[in-house]
Amino acid sequence: MEKMDAEELFQAQAHLYNYTYSFIGSMCLKSAVHLGIPDIIFKNGQPITIPELVLALQIHPTKSGYVYRLMRLLVHAGFFATTKVVKDDKEEEVGYDLTPSSRLLLKDNVPTLSPFVRAMFHPALVHSSEFLPEWFHRNEITPFDTAFGMGYWDYLSQNQEFNGLFNEAMIGDSGMINLVIKDCKYVFEGLNSLVDVGGGKGGVGRIVTESLPNLHWTVLDLPHVIENLPDSTNLKFVGGDMFQSIPSADAILLKLVLHAYSDEDCVKVLKKCKEAISNKGKEGKVIIIDIVVGEKNENHVLTEAKLFFDMLMMVLVNGREREEKEWEKLFLDAGFSHYKITPIFGMRSLIEVYP
């Protein structure tokens, strides 16, 4: 220790404190979303000054002086940007503008990640992650089980408010596909039917069938998720359990489903998928949209996001984020012969798996 440079140790201290306090950064982001700051800036039509923001926020008068400090941190974190604005009195002031990250938080934007961020700050998720250290000494499958005495999917089925929030979050997340639908349309072309296993409220189905109206899309999800959802000409909803049975089709889609399960459960589901596409022979396929850790050219931000997701899967559902080798083993164990990975969705990849 003595031999180490003091400067190096002070850097190490800052590194430690930054990670220790990253929950404060998270709560600042939560505040921005709950206060509606991105939408206020957008409606303002130009960068907003602090007095204008304070007025629009309609917060308690004693809190006006604190807004600048919240914005300063969020600018530092890249959620907002500052620029100079000239007001009527010709004085230059600092104006706060959106960045690409906060544009994704606009409520009426397509895509919007506002519901996703809100759902991830739900007290049930924050609370269960606090049990991570204790869980290492205990027998439960996940820290979520340690915290609530039941599994994550059971909790969702018993908690209407959180279930609604979670499903909205997934629709928002699926909306990101809109950005590259033209680049991945080829994956769905030539298919007459597809079953979207664990497809939630049909977020991906609505986007894809809009540009491929002849594709018959069926969402299979748990009964409490799809209840009261109306079918349309080429989009229908079926309540069921993917471990029991999957309707047959030309292709199966699994978006952000397998990462929530153990290897053993993934192989079970993949075997059911293989059965479901067997009528199509060698031309059937399973389309997976999920995280592949350690892809070529993956930058630091993507790796960190993937590793955070991996920990989230550990806390909530006994799932994991997998490297290519681990995905390959699942496919081979389930009896598939080959696969192709295309990293087209940022932190998620498109994986086509063939019998």
Ligand X SMILES: C[S@@+](CC[C@H](N)C(=O)[O-])C[C@H]1O[C@@H](n2cnc3c(N)ncnc32)[C@H](O)[C@@H]1O
Q: Does 353 bind ligand X (CB under 6 A)?
A: no
Q: Does 38 bind ligand X (CB under 6 A)?
A: no
Q: 71 or 220: whose CB is closer to ligand X?
A: 220
Figure out which of the listed residues 200, 284, 319, 355 binds ligand X, where binding follows CB under 6 A: 200
Give, for 176, the enclosing helix (H) or strand (E).
Answer: none
- For residue 127, the number of C-alpha atoms closer than 13 Å in the C-beta half-sphere is 10
Considering only 22-30, 170-178, 228-236, 338-346, which stretch makes contact with ligand X by CB under 6 A? 170-178
Closest separation in Å from C-beta 54 to ligand X? 37
Give, for 292, the enclosing helix (H) or strand (E).
Answer: strand 292-293
Considering only 7-15, 25-33, 118-126, 199-207, which stretch makes contact with ligand X by CB under 6 A? 199-207
Figure out which of the listed residues 38, 47, 143, 199 binds ligand X, where binding follows CB under 6 A: 199
Q: Helices (DSSP H) in 78-215: which residue ranges?
A: 100-103, 114-120, 123-129, 132-135, 143-148, 152-158, 160-174, 181-184, 203-211
Q: d(Cα 67, Cα 98) in Å, to the nearest integer?
A: 16
Closest separation in Å from C-beta 301 to ligand X? 21
Q: Does 242 bind ligand X (CB under 6 A)?
A: yes
Closest separation in Å from C-beta 226 to ligand X? 9
Q: Does 284 bind ligand X (CB under 6 A)?
A: no
Query: What phi and psi values does residue 293 have, to the nearest 5 degrees?
Result: -80, 140
Figure out which of the listed residues 39, 168, 221, 290 binds ligand X, where binding follows CB under 6 A: 221
Figure out which of the listed residues 112, 114, 174, 209 binds ligand X, where binding follows CB under 6 A: 174
Radius of gyration, CA atoms only, the chain: 23
Considering only 16-24, 56-64, 169-177, 185-193, which stretch makes contact with ligand X by CB under 6 A? 169-177
Q: Contact 171/165 with Cβ under 8 angstroms?
A: no
Q: d(Cα 224, Cα 239) in Å, to the nearest integer?
A: 8
Q: d(Cα 111, Cα 172) in Å, to the nearest integer?
A: 6
Distance of CA 351 to the CA centre of its chain: 17
Q: Does 113 bind ligand X (CB under 6 A)?
A: no
In the window 116-155, what residues touch ligand X (CB under 6 A)? 153
Q: Contact 352/287 with Cβ under 8 angstroms?
A: yes
Cα separation values, 216 from 193, 197, 246, 248, Å: 5, 14, 15, 12
Q: Does 198 bind ligand X (CB under 6 A)?
A: yes
- Verify whether residue 259 is a known catalytic residue: yes
Closest separation in Å from C-beta 66 to ligand X? 36
Considering only 1-9, 70-78, 207-215, 249-257, which stretch makes contact with ligand X by CB under 6 A? 249-257
Figure out which of the listed residues 241, 275, 283, 304 binds ligand X, where binding follows CB under 6 A: 241
Considering only 68-76, 144-152, 193-201, 306-314, which stretch makes contact with ligand X by CB under 6 A? 193-201
Q: Contact 341/324 with Cβ under 8 angstroms?
A: yes
Q: d(Cα 53, Cα 73) in Å, to the nearest integer?
A: 16
Distance of CA 341 to the CA centre of its chain: 19
Q: Which entry of 137, 259, 300, 338 is annotated as an active-site residue?
A: 259
Residue 197, strand partner residues: 220
Q: Does 321 bind ligand X (CB under 6 A)?
A: no
* Strand 235-239 versus strand 216-221 pairing type: parallel
Active site residues: 259
Binding site for ligand X (CB under 6 A): 153, 170, 173-174, 198-200, 203, 220-222, 225, 241-243, 255-257, 260
